[in-house]
Chain A
């Protein structure tokens, strides 16, 4: 059974550009959550999608957005990139909604560098 797949693995972008990251969950999983990890702030929750609907959102500006497709694959978009957006972006997949006694599994992450 394939794990959670995130693409691309590495990305270098320039300030002001936008970027789209992709996450394919484990087959049969319907929930995808996104996290940002930085050395100073640790792991911060961005948002969770379940059955194509955003179910929960963390405390990030509107430049961060996402969506989920009917096959549960999810994309995250960051517009007008800032240097502070440089981070490891992690995607988690679970069968049910986070908190519903369901285990989350993570992809390898996308390391974004903004220059």
Chain B
């Protein structure tokens, strides 16, 4: 079936470290978003990136649609980066946003 898979499921880093989160999707997409869910449950938009590369401060993302994956880069991690990172992809074949299981990131001071 249609799937969105994220890796790694858990990541523990020291403050200041860099990290790469991966999102693989099983079909072609025309809408892909990355979100950060804070401890209170709010989903915060990071990137809307169906293809190409975008940067926002310490965060950047790249989607290679032809190879069916997206990467989220976090540089110089801060404790406030802790939380769960989700990617969600819209595939025409299923007409809804399909969510990955998330990457739980813990940044230690």
Interface residues of A (CB under 8 A from B): 33, 37, 42-43, 45, 48, 56, 58, 88, 90, 98-109, 111
Contacts and interface: CB of A to CB of B under 8 A. Distances in A.
Contact of A108 (B42, B88, B92): B42
Nearest to A90: B43
Given A109-B41, A111-B41, A43 B86 contact: yes
A56 B33 CA distance: 19
B35 A106 contact: yes
Interface string B21-63: 0000000001101010000111111001010000000000000
Interface stretch (B11-19, B65-73, B94-102): B94-102
Contacts of B40: 108
Given A56-B95, A104-B97, A98 B31 contact: yes
Interface of B: 30-31, 33, 35, 40-45, 48, 50, 86, 88, 90, 92, 95-97, 99, 101-102
A101 B31 contact: yes
A99 B30 CA distance: 7
B33 A109 contact: no
Given A101-B30, A101-B31, A106 B42 contact: yes
Contacts of A108: 40-42
A103 B96 contact: no
Contacts of B33: 103-104
A70 to B, nearest CB: 24
B108 to A, nearest CB: 23
Given A99-B30, A103-B33, A109 B96 contact: no
A98 B96 contact: yes
Contacts of A107: 42
Contacts of A99: 30-31, 90, 92, 95-97
A88 B41 contact: yes
Given A99-B92, A101-B30, A103-B33, A109 B97 contact: no
A5 to B, nearest CB: 12
Contacts of A102: 31
Given A88-B41, A108-B42, A48 B96 contact: yes
